[in-house]
Amino acid sequence: MPRSDASIANLPRHVAIIMDGNGRWARKRHLPRAAGHVSGVSTVRAVVRAAIDIRLENLTLYAFSSENWKRPALEINHLMGLFRSYFREDIEELVRRNVRMRIIGSRRRAAPDILAMIEDGEARTAGNDGLNLTFAFDYGAQEEIAAAARELAEAAVRGELDPTAITTSLFATHLSTGELPEPDLVIRTGGERRLSNFLLWQSAYAELVFAETLWPDFSRNEFLDALNAFARRERRFGAVEPEAAA
């Protein structure tokens, strides 16, 4: 049975999810990898709807990494087809449910029609003030950090920025997530325990939850369980408890 909204206490402001396990889910069922990706999209819808229902402020989903271009062309083409379907079929619901959608990552390699769908979705939801839903598409954290450093260096060369004025706070504003709070909670499904080049700078003090469940089987209830696990953790951001410092 679905958890009630009342069961969620101390919501994180920003949850980020590494959606892993589509291929293994399909392989376990002797299905093509494409079937895992199709089922994974259904999980995306379920988790986004749960986030809306509990009034989560920010949700970021790792949809396609910059390294994923190394996969077989047939799989990439299928994934791009799923992105097209999602933008066509779900944008109306996002508009209706007051979700603001945005994409982070490189857009240089996206097909023109996908780029147009991204821009249309961002424009149509720009005025919404409910859930901030971010898809990391053709995204790599190391590339993002290098781009931010390059931007600041170029400003310094032009004389527009004193290098001594560069702080961690200033640097963060030049990342693609500059408008968002840093993630409080990063969830990874599929049993692996690594960040895989996802929000490396932003996740410095994020709480991490690693779920064994493969992404297509990750349910609304497991998502809410992860949020409740976050609520039970004590976050000190490098400090110590007052009695320990005494």
In this structure, is residue 194 part of a structural domain? yes
In this structure, is residue 127 part of a structural domain? yes
CATH code at 69? 3.40.1180.10
In this structure, is residue 32 part of a structural domain? yes
In this structure, is residue 155 part of a structural domain? no
pLDDT digits (tens, 9 = 90+) for 131-173: 999 999 999 999 999 999 999 999 999 999 999 999 999 999 9
Name residues whose C-beta falls within 8 Å of residue 212's C-beta, 6 or more positions apart in sequence: 190, 191
pLDDT for 94 equals 97
Kindly list the catalytic residues.
20, 68
In this structure, is residue 144 part of a structural domain? no
In this structure, is residue 167 part of a structural domain? no
- Assign 6 a pLDDT band (cuts: 50, 70, 90): very low
**Percent of residues, the chain, with pLDDT higher than 70:** 91
- Assign 4 a pLDDT band (cuts: 50, 70, 90): very low
Q: What's the domain count of the chain? A: 1
Domain that holds residue 221: 13-139+185-233
pLDDT digits (tens, 9 = 90+) for 171-191: 999 999 999 999 999 999 999
Mean of the pLDDT values across residues 108-130? 95
In this structure, is residue 33 part of a structural domain? yes
In this structure, is residue 128 part of a structural domain? yes
